[in-house]
Chain A
C-alpha cells in the first residue's frame, strides 16, 4: 500500500534497471546479429551460440510487440532525442549538479547550442530511465554511468563509442592513461570519462601531533595504520583510529594496489569471469581489518556509509579517513576545528601497483539522427576542454582527466597551493596503468557481487574464523558469476 521511499546517501539505491521490460514482451528477436558495438571481443564461440539459442527461444516465446528489448537485440534501433536541446542525464546532485549546470550554460554561450543537464537522482536511475528510453524511442543524448556498471551498459549493445562521435580533430590521447584505459575497449574510447576519482586517506594533523605522530609522515601500509591508530587511541586523542565506508570500492583498491586480480579473465576485461581470487594478501587484509575492529581501533560506520564515515572524521572520532578524493573540498570546508591533510592510500604490503578508478563517465546512445551526433560531439569536446575540466575539478574535487588540464593547473600553481588536490592525481599517475589489476573489474552482476563483498566483509570481521568466512564469500561470488554467465 504505502510506497517506501529511499533516501540513499550514497548507498546504491534499489531501482529497476531493465526499462521495466518483462522479458516476455521484449519483442521479436531476429536472427541474432552480434550487436555492432559489443566492445568485448571476448565472447567465445560457445558464448555466442548460447546467446543465439536463448534469443531464438526468447523470440519464440515472446509476445510480438516488436519493441526493442533490453536484452541486447542489436544496435539497429532509431531514436529520437527527448528534447530539442541537447540533454544529458546525470546523477550529480548538490553543488556538483550546479557546477554541471554552469558548464552547460558555458557551452551555450560559446556555441549557441542549448544544453540541458537533467538530474536523475542516482546512477541506477539514469540507467533505468535510459533503458526505458531505448524502449520508448525517446532518448537523452548522453547519460552518466558509474564505472561499476559499465559492463551492463555494454551488454545493451545500444551505445556508440564516443571516439566515433568526437570531432575528427579531437585527440583522444589527451585523457590520462590510467583513466582512459578503463574506458577504452577494442582500442577506442567507449565513453567520455568525466568525474573520476580514486580513494585516498585523509588525516587529522592536529590529532596526529597531539598523539606524538608526525603528520608529514603518514602511515603508508596497513601495519603502520594500526600502529598509528594504537597510539592515537592510547593517548586518548580520538576514540578510534580510522574508518571508511564499507563499500566494495575500498576492497577493490586494496586489490589494485597489491597488483592482485579480483577475478579471472583479467577482472572481466578479456572474457566472462568465473573465478574469484582471494590470494594471501587478502587474508592479511581481513586479518588486519578484524584485528582493528576487535581492538577498537576501527569502527564500522555502516554499509556504503559515505556520509557517516566523513562525519566520524569531522567530529574527530577518528583521526584517519579513507574516502574518495572528490571529498577534498568538502572536507577542507567542514573541518573548521582542525587541519586536514591528504595522504596516499595505505596498502596491504609494501607493494604499490596502482589504484582502481572510481566515478562515472558519459555514454551516448547509438541510433540517433546523424546530424545530432555532430552536436553531441561538440558538447563532449567542450566538456573535455582544459578550462572546463579545471572548473569541474575545482568545483567538485574529482580530478581533471585530461593532460592539458592537468598541465594548465600545474602551471597556475594550483597544486602547489592546494597540495591535497594533488595527492589523488599523483597516486593515479604513479600507478601502473598497464597492470590489469588496476583496471576496475567489469562484471555483469556487479551490484550483486558488490553486495556480497560488503555484507560478507562484516561477517568476516565478526567471525571467530575469518578464513572460513573468506572462503564462503569466494564461493558465493562464484555462484553469482556462474548464474549470470551461464
Chain B
C-alpha cells in the first residue's frame, strides 16, 4: 500500500530545486496531507462496518448472550467457557477440521482444473474455445436452488451420499476463476509467449515454468476467494452429509443452537461457534491481503 505514496513522495521530492531528497515526512505530516476529514470519515465508516463483529464477539463472551441495548455490549466473562463448550463439548473442532479438508481440496482442485482450462482458452488456437468460455461463464447464472433438487438425486445415485466426494467434486468447476485467470493470462506480455513459442515449449512445461510463476499473486488471491466460498457453504453439505463425523462447521453451528422450540436459548454459544468459523477465512484474508488486494485487476483485452 505504501507504494503509491512513496512514488508520489519521490515525485514531489524530485521537484525540489537542489535535487537532494528531502527527509521522509513524519506521521503527523502525512496525516496532515491525508486530511483529517478523510481519516474521520474512514473512522466512521469502518466503525459501522466493524460494529457487527463487535456485537458477535461480545455476545460470545456472555452467559446467555441476550443483548438489547448498547450498555449490554460490555464483554462478559464467559468467553473461555463458551468457546470451550463449543470446541470440546460439542465437538466443533471436528466440524472445523472437516470444513478445512473440504475447502482445501476444493481450492486445490479448482485451481488445477481452472488453470488447465484457462490455458486452453488463451493459448490454444481451437475454433470452439470462445464457445467453451461462454459455456463456462454462463454457469454463473445457473442458480443453486434450481439445480439443487436434481443434483441431490444425482449425487445419491452416484453413491456419493455422505462422502467427501459429494462436497468437493461438484464445486470443481469455477467460472469466476477461469474468468480471472483468463484476464490475467491475457495480460502476460506477448513477448514472453513469443519466446516460449520459439523455444518450442510444450503446454505442461509452459504452464509450469511460465504461467504459474507469473501468476503467483493471482493464484493466491483466487485461492483465498475460493477458500472463503467453500468454507461458507451451508445448504449443500446440510443435505448431503448425514453423520456428525463428516459434517462441516457451517452446518455444525445448528448443533450449537440447540433445540429452540424446546426452549434452549444459546445465542452466546452460537456466536462463539460463529466466531470460530469466521477465524480461518479471516486469518487467510489478512495474511494474504497483499496478493488479494494487489492482483485483482480486471484488464481489458
Is any CB of A less than 8 Å from a CB of B in the complex? yes
- Chain A positions within 8 Å of B, measured between CB atoms, are 1-10, 15-16, 18-22, 25, 65, 67, 82, 89, 91-97, 118-122, 125, 128-129, 132-133, 135-136, 138, 140, 195, 197, 306-307, 310-311, 314-315, 317, 323-324, 326-331, 334, 358, 396-398
A345 to chain B, nearest CB (A): 15
26 A-B residue pairs with Cβ-Cβ distance under 8 Å, sorted by A, are A2-B232, A7-B253, A15-B239, A16-B239, A19-B152, A20-B150, A20-B152, A22-B153, A93-B258, A119-B254, A120-B242, A121-B254, A125-B238, A132-B153, A132-B161, A133-B242, A135-B153, A135-B156, A136-B156, A307-B260, A315-B68, A326-B263, A330-B264, A358-B261, A396-B262, A397-B262
State A2–B176 Cα separation when bound (angstroms): 12
| Pairwise interchain contact A96-B242, C-beta atoms closer than 8 A | no
On whether the beta carbons of A307 and B256 are closer than 8 Å, the reply is no
Chain B residue nearest in CB terms to A94: B258
Determine the distance from Cα of A82 to Cα of B242 in the docked complex, in whole angstroms: 10
Whether B267 sits at the interface, judged by CB under 8 Å, is yes
Residue of A92, A306, A307 with most chain B CB atoms under a 10 A cut-off: A307
* Contact, CB under 8 Å: A15 / B235: yes
Contacts of B88 in A (CB 8 A): none
Set of chain A residues within 8 Å of B265, measured between Cβ atoms: 307, 310-311, 314, 330, 334
Partner of A22 from the list B140, B150, B234, B238 (CB cut-off 8 Å) is B150
Min C-beta distance of A455 to chain B, whole Å: 19
CB of A10 within 8 A of CB of B234, answer no
B266 on interface, CB distance cutoff 8 Å: yes
Q: Is the CB of B262 within 8 A of A21?
A: no
What's the Cα separation between A327 and B161 when bound, in Å? 35
> A327, B255: Cβ atoms under 8 Å?
no
Q: How far apart are the CA atoms of A346 and B241 in the complex, in Å?
A: 43
The distance in angstroms between the C-alpha atoms of A135 and B144, with both chains bound, is 22
Q: How far does the Cβ of B257 sit from chain A's closest Cβ, in whole Å?
A: 5
Residue of A nearest to B263 (CB): A327
Distance between A378 CB and nearest chain B CB, rounded to angstroms: 22
Please name the residue on chain B nearest to A331 by beta carbon.
Answer: B263
Chain A residue at minimum C-beta to C-beta distance from B242: A129
CB-CB < 8 A to A129: which residues of B? Answer: 239, 242
- Contact among B150, B176, B234, B267 with A1 in the assembled complex (CB-CB below 8 Å): B176
* Chain B nearest Cβ from A95, distance in angstroms: 6
Contacts of B153 in A (CB 8 A): 19-22, 25, 132, 135
Determine whether the beta carbon of A19 is less than 8 Å from that of B156: yes
User: What residues of A have a CB within 8 angstroms of the CB of B236 in the complex?
Assistant: 3
Whether the pair B254, A93 counts as a contact (CB closer than 8 A) is yes
Q: Which of B48-96 contact A (CB under 8 A)?
A: 64, 66, 68
Does chain A have a CB within 8 A of B159? yes
Chain B residues positioned under 8 Å from A324 (CB to CB):
261-263
Query: Shortest beta-carbon distance, A270 to chain B, in Å?
Result: 28
Contacting B149 at CB < 8 Å: which of A4, A6, A18, A138? A18
**Contact between B263 and A3, CB atoms less than 8 A apart:** no
Q: Give the Cβ gap from B223 to chain A, nearest Cβ, in Å.
A: 17
- Give chain B residues whose Cβ lies under 8 Å from the Cβ of A317: 68
Q: Top 7 A-B pairs ranked by shortest CB distance? A: A94-B258, A20-B152, A327-B263, A10-B260, A5-B234, A326-B262, A20-B153
CA distance A118 to B263 in the complex (A): 20
B233 at the interface (CB under 8 A from A): yes
Q: Contacts of B159 on A, CB cut-off 8 Å?
A: 136
Residues of A within 8 A of B243 (CB): 118
B222 within 8 A of A: no
* Residue in A closest to B142 when the chains form the complex, CB atoms: A1
What are the residues of chain A within 8 A of B148 when measuring CB–CB? 16, 20
Q: Across the two chains, which residue of chain B brings its CB closest to A202?
A: B263
A326 and B259 contacting across the interface, CB-CB below 8 Å: yes
Inter-chain contact B156/A92, CB cutoff 8 Å: no
A113 to B261, CA, bound (A): 31
Bound together, the chains give a CA A306 to CA B258 distance in angstroms of 12
B290 within 8 A of A: no
- Cβ of A92 and Cβ of B66 under 8 Å apart? no
A20 to B235, CA, bound (A): 13
**B135: Cβ under 8 A from any A Cβ:** no
Q: How far is the CA of A307 from the CA of B265 in the complex (A)?
A: 6
Indicate whether B229 reaches chain A with its CB closer than 8 angstroms: yes
Q: In the assembly, what is the distance between CA of A25 and CA of B243, in Å?
A: 27
Is the Cβ of A95 less than 8 Å from the Cβ of B264? yes
A392 CB to nearest B CB, Å: 11
Which of B140, B144, B155, B156 has the largest number of chain A CB atoms within 10 A?
B156
**Contact residues, B150-191 vs A (CB, 8 A):** 150-157, 159, 161, 176
- Whether B270 is near chain A, meaning CB under 8 Å from some CB there, is yes
Closest to A82 in B: B242
Of all chain A residues, which has the CB nearest B139? A1
Given contacts A67-B157, A314-B64, 18 further A-B contacts (CB under 8 A): A7-B257, A10-B260, A16-B149, A20-B148, A20-B152, A20-B154, A21-B149, A25-B153, A93-B255, A93-B259, A96-B264, A97-B259, A129-B242, A135-B157, A136-B156, A136-B157, A140-B242, A306-B260
Q: A20-B152, A397-B262 are in contact. Are A93 and B239 (CB under 8 A)?
A: no
Return the CB mask of B117-155 against A: 1 if under 8 Å, else 0: 000000000000000000000001000100011111111
Q: Is the CB of A2 within 8 A of B229?
A: yes
Interface flag for B251 (CB, 8 Å) = yes
Select one of B144, B151, B161, B239 contacting A138, CB under 8 A: B161
- Point out the residues of chain B lying under 8 angstroms from A91, CB to CB: 259
